A and B are shown apart, each in its own frame.
Chain A
């Protein structure tokens, strides 16, 4: 792993891009890593494009500027690729683009002309089938750790279970659904 690994999440207001960065950062802390997780603050409207960020490192992180050249970009909402340049600042060879879409990585590459690594997973479908609602952020965490190797699957599952058990004590089905979603996305993500 690089000294500091940087991630940018793209979503629409209300889809959980901020929550995804916070949850993912928190999960990394439980394995002894140092992290930052922060959203981009602008006018916040439901449905408007929003971004959030992670820094992950094995040593304390001192830098406090914005992230302009992430190692990975995670896109929670496929329709964003028509609206904004999700590849901005991403290295055209080593950069990793992970998109929530039923399309194949090849189709995406053709559509947006990106030379780096492209991975896709139908996280919305997985979320509906496992959690019962279209919340793609939890399954996307599963796909993210598969394509980056930042965490092991059982580490992420263990930490997510711990957190959800606090929040959803009386709804065990929510916990199982989320864990299943992470595991399915981990196994179903396609690409390079």
Chain B
């Protein structure tokens, strides 16, 4: 069994990568992910991993190198934040379209401009339709656990899709927390050898060379996209199996969402990332006052776990969505759209309202979340909402 240690989110990512011991890591440093590259390159220099570490000149090249390595059959990893992820954009779609199980550690940071180095989810929310699996973390422990499970999910023969694992910039990436680290052997046994898949090197050795990434026009492009969509659908089956296996081995179980006091709740919030922890404190306080409050934490955003979200929220009367992104659609944040989509087909559904918070690292206090619950209580009382979107903690 693992041991209790103190690690920051970035250290947890880097240690996890060391234990995974991938064939190739190609990465470029960017705040707040920089330490991952720094610590991991030290592991390489110290000979603690067999990884070929490729120092690239940009994130576009980092993703390109991972795509090349993965197409050649390697287990490839990278990490980035914010503008770095934005700079990878066209390559993200190529990684997923080619069905390459690349693993990427993402430290969430606001997108410029205005330039900002702190946390919000605008970077990875922008990439939610890029065909990557997306898994978000509440704390340092989950950051580490999600990275290790991510390898198995991405490489599963029924999935074969790249996977990004998120942690909140500074709030988690630079916060030292108590966590339990597995032994190197436990991680190696859990991830195992990558399952066999067609790749450039194997096909060349076998004397039957293949082409990856060829032109695909009206005749087959659609079929390939249809297959890719099936891979994402299959991830819906694979993710809970891997989460259960992880739980049986190491005592921490994972699925798509975490339901916190939601079963009998009248009002609840939906939240992603580190704010979920702060939200649980608020739910506990409200429960002590006899208010039936609950919280739904979204761990997996892609694939979108529609059934689970529906099951969690169907009996609630009022739900507040917490969006750490401004959707710029003059109506609501992107998580609101996702949750509304999940609930639309239900006959009886809760009243939904959206709260945009924490942009550019704006601190989210207990009182901010209390304000949200107070609004939900008012809506519950009146039986209708008077706004769809409200900004929390902003000066107007």
- The judgment on whether A and B are partners is yes
Q: Is B172 part of the binding interface, using a Cβ–Cβ cutoff of 8 Å?
A: yes
The 8 A CB mask of A40-65 against B (1 = contact, 0 = none) is 01000000000000000000111111
Enumerate chain B residues within 8 angstroms of A65, measured Cβ to Cβ.
Answer: 278, 363-366
> Are B281 and A63 within 8 A (Cβ)?
yes
> Are B366 and A61 within 8 A (Cβ)?
no
* Residue count of chain A within 8 Å CB distance of chain B: 22
Enumerate chain B residues within 8 angstroms of A63, measured Cβ to Cβ.
Answer: 277-278, 281, 366
Which of B123-131, B173-181, B195-203, B348-356 lies at the interface with chain A? B173-181
> Are A62 and B176 within 8 A (Cβ)?
no
Q: Is A114 part of the binding interface, using a Cβ–Cβ cutoff of 8 Å?
A: no
> Are B139 and A64 within 8 A (Cβ)?
yes
**A18 (CB) vs chain B CBs: closest residue:** B174
> Are B6 and A35 within 8 A (Cβ)?
yes
80-99 of chain A: CB within 8 A of chain B: none
* Alpha-carbon distance between A62 and B178 when the two chains are bound, in angstroms: 11
**A38 (CB) vs chain B CBs: closest residue:** B175
Closest Cβ of chain A: how far from B156's Cβ, in Å?
31
Q: Is A39 part of the binding interface, using a Cβ–Cβ cutoff of 8 Å?
A: yes
Enumerate chain A residues within 8 angstroms of B136, measured Cβ to Cβ.
Answer: none
Q: Is A172 part of the binding interface, using a Cβ–Cβ cutoff of 8 Å?
A: no
Selected from A35, A41, A60, A68, the residue in CB contact (under 8 A) with B170 is A41
Q: Is B4 part of the binding interface, using a Cβ–Cβ cutoff of 8 Å?
A: yes
Enumerate chain B residues within 8 angstroms of A39, measured Cβ to Cβ.
Answer: 174
Enumerate chain A residues within 8 angstroms of B363, measured Cβ to Cβ.
Answer: 65-66
* Residue count of chain B within 8 Å CB distance of chain A: 25
* Alpha-carbon distance between A120 and B276 when the two chains are bound, in angstroms: 39
* Alpha-carbon distance between A66 and B366 when the two chains are bound, in angstroms: 10
Closest Cβ of chain A: how far from B28's Cβ, in Å?
21
Selected from B117, B171, B176, B274, the residue in CB contact (under 8 A) with A25 is B176
Q: Is B19 part of the binding interface, using a Cβ–Cβ cutoff of 8 Å?
A: no
Q: Is A182 part of the binding interface, using a Cβ–Cβ cutoff of 8 Å?
A: no
Enumerate chain A residues within 8 angstroms of B280, measured Cβ to Cβ.
Answer: 62
Enumerate chain B residues within 8 angstroms of A41, measured Cβ to Cβ.
Answer: 117-118, 170, 174
Enumerate chain B residues within 8 angstroms of A127, measured Cβ to Cβ.
Answer: none
Selected from A21, A22, A60, A62, the residue in CB contact (under 8 A) with B278 is A62
Q: A63-B277, A64-B275, A64-B277 are in contact. Are A37 and B176 (CB under 8 A)?
A: yes
Q: Is B346 part of the binding interface, using a Cβ–Cβ cutoff of 8 Å?
A: no
Among B118, B171, B176, B275, max chain A CB count under 10 A is at B176
Selected from B174, B176, B278, the residue in CB contact (under 8 A) with A35 is B176
The 8 A CB mask of B160-188 against A (1 = contact, 0 = none) is 00000000101110111110000000000
Selected from B171, B176, B178, B365, the residue in CB contact (under 8 A) with A22 is B176
Enumerate chain B residues within 8 angstroms of A34, measured Cβ to Cβ.
Answer: 177-178
* Alpha-carbon distance between A62 and B138 when the two chains are bound, in angstroms: 9
> Are A64 and B176 within 8 A (Cβ)?
no
Selected from A33, A36, A60, A68, the residue in CB contact (under 8 A) with B176 is A36
Q: Is B45 part of the binding interface, using a Cβ–Cβ cutoff of 8 Å?
A: no
Q: Is A26 part of the binding interface, using a Cβ–Cβ cutoff of 8 Å?
A: yes
Closest Cβ of chain A: how far from B372's Cβ, in Å?
14
Q: Is B330 part of the binding interface, using a Cβ–Cβ cutoff of 8 Å?
A: no
Selected from B6, B117, B274, the residue in CB contact (under 8 A) with A64 is B274
Enumerate chain A residues within 8 angstroms of B214, measured Cβ to Cβ.
Answer: none
Closest Cβ of chain A: how far from B371's Cβ, in Å?
13
> Are A29 and B171 within 8 A (Cβ)?
no
Q: Is B5 part of the binding interface, using a Cβ–Cβ cutoff of 8 Å?
A: yes
129-171 of chain B: CB within 8 A of chain A: 139, 168, 170-171
* Alpha-carbon distance between A35 and B141 when the two chains are bound, in angstroms: 13
Enumerate chain B residues within 8 angstroms of A26, measured Cβ to Cβ.
Answer: 6, 176
* Alpha-carbon distance between A89 and B176 when the two chains are bound, in angstroms: 23
> Are B175 and A37 within 8 A (Cβ)?
yes
> Are A35 and B178 within 8 A (Cβ)?
yes
Selected from B6, B117, B365, the residue in CB contact (under 8 A) with A37 is B6
21 intermolecular pairs with C-beta atoms under 8 Å apart: A21-B176, A22-B176, A26-B176, A29-B6, A33-B178, A35-B176, A35-B178, A36-B176, A37-B176, A38-B170, A41-B117, A60-B178, A61-B177, A62-B277, A63-B278, A64-B172, A64-B175, A64-B277, A64-B278, A64-B364, A65-B365
Using CB atoms and an 8 Å cutoff, list the residues of chain B in contact with chain A.
4-6, 117-118, 139, 168, 170-172, 174-178, 274-275, 277-278, 280-281, 363-366
Beyond the given A36-B177, A38-B176, A63-B281, please list 6 additional residue pairs across the A-B interface where CB-CB is below 8 A.
Answer: A29-B5, A29-B178, A35-B176, A38-B170, A38-B171, A39-B174
